[in-house]
């Protein structure tokens, strides 16, 4: 089966359990995964029941699609996500994005934990992704083109919706949540960056660095999603004052930022 047919096949399987089209799709990263518990659940579909959602025995603990109500909207969220650094192909990583769109969602909210390279940022802060740089060295759209998947050369002048950025800024102001707007650069990982790499990435124009999101956004643009991306700044990566990264502390910082991030996203969903 070609990719388009596999996407349709997965969507068909999911609709047998969750027949109604969701309005908003959410792909939460570290720091936003608690939003899964805020959804008033109507249906849960384990990844293992969905053809093409891959072997999920790896690191993800909640490998399921969650359907329900959040902020008065019908939403679908992914519990569990594949990363390039785990050995998944970019087609695997972005397959759920295609399926979420095929189910009828037109808004995509996607988040990640990221290292902050902008010296004005603070650990636990939130960056609204205004633009991105793909430095993964690969692209999820490479392959034989099938026009049913979307345009062959998707335009990237506004991958992150200005309308949703403005909405998120307004909500953040009203809620008293400090947010930055900046550029996210994606690398494959899994090692963290060297000081020379941070210097290079910063000079290239990036404010945050991480190992996800960009593949899903590239595919999200191809399939016509209106996209909001958010980074939870878990640690500062300043090349001239770099300390060893502490993964436990990174996760702890993400958990501290989680309530604000969830409040922000929930209100954006309600008003999007």
From the number of C-beta atoms within 10 Å of its C-beta (0-12, 13-18, 19+), residue 133 rates as middle
Binding mask 119-138 for ligand HPA (x = CB under 6 A): --------------------
Dist CA 238 CA 202 (whole Å): 9
**CA–CA distances in Å: residue 7 to residues 33, 60, 84, 110, 138:** 24, 21, 20, 20, 21
**How many residues of this chain interact with ligand HPA, rule: CB under 6 A?**
14
Please give the structure tokens belonging to residue 58.
């790896």
Question: Among residue numbers 237 through 256, which ones bind ligand HPA (CB under 6 A)?
Answer: 237, 245, 250
Instruction: Map tokens 């595919």 to a residue.
Output: 219
The one among 114, 172, 201, 218 contacting ligand HPA by CB under 6 A: 114
Q: Which is nearer to ligand HPA, 31 or 54 (CB)?
A: 31
Among 10, 39, 50, 113, binds ligand HPA (CB under 6 A): 113
Residue written as tokens 């900046």?
182
Q: What is the three-state SS of 106-172?
A: CEEEEEEEEEECCCCCCCCCEEEEEEEEECCCCCCCCCCCCHHHCCCCCCCCCCCCHHHHHHHHHHH
By C-beta, is 51 or 239 nearer to ligand HPA?
Answer: 239
User: What does the per-residue mask of binding to ligand HPA show for 184-223, with x meaning CB under 6 A?
Assistant: -----x--xx---------------xxx------------
Name the residue number minimizing CB distance to ligand HPA: 115
Q: Does 234 bind ligand HPA (CB under 6 A)?
A: yes
Q: Does 32 bind ligand HPA (CB under 6 A)?
A: no
Task: Kindly state the smallest distance separating residue 235's Cβ from ligand HPA, in Å.
Answer: 5
> How are the residues of the chain apportioned to helix, strand and coil, as percentages rounded to the nearest 5?
35, 25, 40
Report the interface residues with ligand HPA, using CB under 6 A. 113-115, 189, 192-193, 209-211, 234-235, 237, 245, 250
């Amino acid at each position: 089966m070609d990719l388009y047919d596999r996407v349709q096949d997965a969507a068909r399987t999911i609709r047998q359990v969750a027949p109604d089209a969701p309005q908003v799709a959410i792909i939460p990263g570290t720091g936003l995964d608690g939003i899964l518990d805020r959804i008033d659940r109507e249906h849960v579909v384990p990844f293992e029941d969905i053809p093409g959602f891959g072997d999920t025995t790896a690191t993800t603990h909640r490998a399921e699609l969650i359907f329900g109500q959040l902020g008065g909207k019908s939403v679908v969220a992914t519990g569990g996500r594949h990363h390039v650094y785990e050995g998944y192909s970019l087609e695997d990583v972005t397959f759920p994005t295609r399926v979420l769109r095929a189910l009828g969602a037109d808004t995509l909210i996607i988040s990640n934990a990221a290292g902050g390279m902008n010296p004005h940022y603070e650990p636990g802060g939130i960056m609204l992704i205004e633009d991105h740089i793909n430095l993964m060295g690969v692209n999820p759209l490479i392959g034989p083109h099938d026009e049913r998947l979307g345009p062959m050369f998707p335009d990237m002048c506004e991958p992150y919706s200005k309308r949703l950025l403005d909405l998120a800024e307004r909500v953040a102001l009203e809620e008293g949540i400090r947010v930055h707007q900046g550029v996210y650069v994606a690398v494959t990982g899994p090692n963290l960056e060297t000081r020379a790499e941070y210097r290079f990435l910063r000079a290239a124009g990036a404010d945050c660095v991480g190992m996800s999101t960009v593949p899903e956004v590239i595919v999200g643009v191809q399939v016509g999603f209106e996209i909001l991306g958010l980074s939870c700044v878990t640690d500062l990566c300043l090349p001239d004052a770099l300390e060893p990264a502490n993964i436990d502390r990174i996760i702890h910082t993400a958990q501290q930022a989680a309530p604000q991030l969830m409040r922000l996203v929930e209100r954006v969903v309600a008003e999007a």
